[in-house]
Amino acid sequence: MKEFWEEKYSNSEYIYGLKPNEFLLSKLKDFKSGSILFPCDGEGRNSVYFANQGFDVVAFDFSQNAKAKALNLAKNFNVRVDYFLADWKDFFTLERFDFVAIAFAHFKKDERQEFHKKMMDFLKPDGLLIAEYFSKKQINNNSGGPKDLNMLYDINELKNDFSEYTIIELYEKEINLNEGLIHQGKADVVRVVVKK
């Protein structure tokens, strides 16, 4: 899997574009400051944007190519992003965050539950996890995402993953994706906002 992403991020262009994910932007735009963790951050479009808005940003990804592109983007915008090279299972910090923001990180069921539990542990009390994922209906679209149904999500799975917490929003939606080279066109997503 690591080799797959290293190759994908070897492109000189930013394959998901430079603009932040629209759902994350819509949920965070009313906050003017705070600390945010961006797991599986890829090329840095989200972490760099929010660092530029005044947030304290920590990000991680397991791709060296992704990290290099993210740090180059941060340099271009003259902002600081604490970006770590780590798989989500290995990532560790004593810091606790106001927000954990996730855009299209997909795992099979056993890993997904463990991933969500770990990300919730990184939140401060009353902190928010905000995430957009491809839903299982995305299997019929060509706008991005895994072609393995087991790596696509549905409402019931996410409801179960976050059953110990307060789910503020959880819904599926058909959208038109316009994110860089490979997230283009009709897409089916599931969105969730959870309060610790």
DSSP 152: S
| Residue range 143-161: mean pLDDT, rounded | 94
For residue range 165-184, list pLDDT tens digits in order: 999 999 999 999 999 888 88
Q: Which of 150, 149, 167 is nearest to 158 (CA)?
A: 167
How far is residue 136's CA from residue 189's CA, in Å, rounded to a whole number? 8
Integer angstrom CA distances of residue 122 from 15, 116, 125, 170, 176: 28, 10, 10, 20, 31
What is the pTM assigned to this prediction? 0.96
For residue range 48-63, list pLDDT tens digits in order: 999 999 999 999 999 9
Weakest mean pLDDT among 5-19, 52-66, 111-125, 170-184? 5-19
For the cut 80, the answer to whether the pLDDT of residue 2 exceeds it is no
For residue range 82-91, list pLDDT tens digits in order: 999 999 999 9
